[in-house]
Amino acid sequence: MTPHQDPPLLDAFALTRSAVVANNAMNRERGLRGVNSYERELGFDPLSRLVAGDAWLDLCCGSGRALIEAAGDPRAEGVRITGVDLVDFFVPAVRPAGLDLVAADATEWRPARRYDLVTCVHGLHYVGDRLGLLARIASWLTPTGLFVADFDAAGIAADDVPGELRRQGFAYDAERRRITLRGAREVAFPYRYLGADDSAGPNYTGQPAVRVHYTDA
């Protein structure tokens, strides 16, 4: 816990044990296409952006349903797909070749390669040091790689987050609450992470989310 903060902020360890983050009721079941899907949330079908030899990383992948569907699609021939989620609630299906599902905290996980596509569908709302994660993601892209995620600047207590994101090269669509970045780059945010508040209540999705606090570095 961080002292002198009301409510006290949670550190990374406490956050992973928070009922808001390990919530069984959250939507971890999106498929690749259709009503409850990645295509709908991201605005495109991820496989439409990938060719043989490419690699796709999906952070906070939930059950991994969308990735399992993608890996079984003939268009994914030769595409490597990696999903990372804090909890091992992965669909107990036979894993198609080319798919890895990893149970790990995205803020600590280290990739062994660069990616042509990095996505995070409604996952950053629960991540502690999410600006630190954004900076690391920026270094995981290939030179032409694309990062797309749901992102709510209102979930961050810090000065001028939208402006700072744009200064660092991200595009932030405040209306759609979507963040994108094209191509690897060095990102250094002028903030210091303080901790997370899991008592902030629902965010724009209607689900309880985690509000994170930063101070100027």
Ligand X SMILES: C[S@@+](CC[C@H](N)C(=O)[O-])C[C@H]1O[C@@H](n2cnc3c(N)ncnc32)[C@H](O)[C@@H]1O
Cβ at position 174, least distance to ligand X in Å? 20
What DSSP string describes the chain? Answer: -BTT-SSPBB-HHHHHT-TTTT-TTS----BSSSSSBHHHHHSS-GGGG--TT-EEEEES-TT-HHHHHHHTSGGGTT-EEEEEESS-----SPPPTTEEEEES-TTT---SS-EEEEEESS-GGG-SSHHHHHHHHHHHEEEEEEEEEE--GGGEESTTHHHHHHHTT-EEETTTTEEEEES------SEEEEEEETTS-B-TTSSB--EEEEEE-
Nearer to ligand X, 81 or 84 (CB): 84
Q: Phi and psi for 106 in degrees, rounded to 5?
A: -60, -25
Among 32, 42, 55, 61, contact with ligand X (rule: CB under 6 A): 61
Does the footprint of ligand X cover residue 45 (CB under 6 A)? no
Does the footprint of ligand X cover residue 127 (CB under 6 A)? yes
Nearer to ligand X, 25 or 52 (CB): 25
Does the footprint of ligand X cover residue 62 (CB under 6 A)? yes
Does the footprint of ligand X cover residue 196 (CB under 6 A)? no
Does the footprint of ligand X cover residue 87 (CB under 6 A)? yes
Among 106, 137, 148, 209, contact with ligand X (rule: CB under 6 A): 106
Nearer to ligand X, 26 or 165 (CB): 26
Does the footprint of ligand X cover residue 27 (CB under 6 A)? yes
Cβ at position 192, least distance to ligand X in Å? 19
Using CB under 6 A, count the residues that bind ligand X. 21
Binding footprint of ligand X on the chain (CB under 6 A): 21, 26-30, 60-62, 84-87, 105-107, 121-123, 126-127
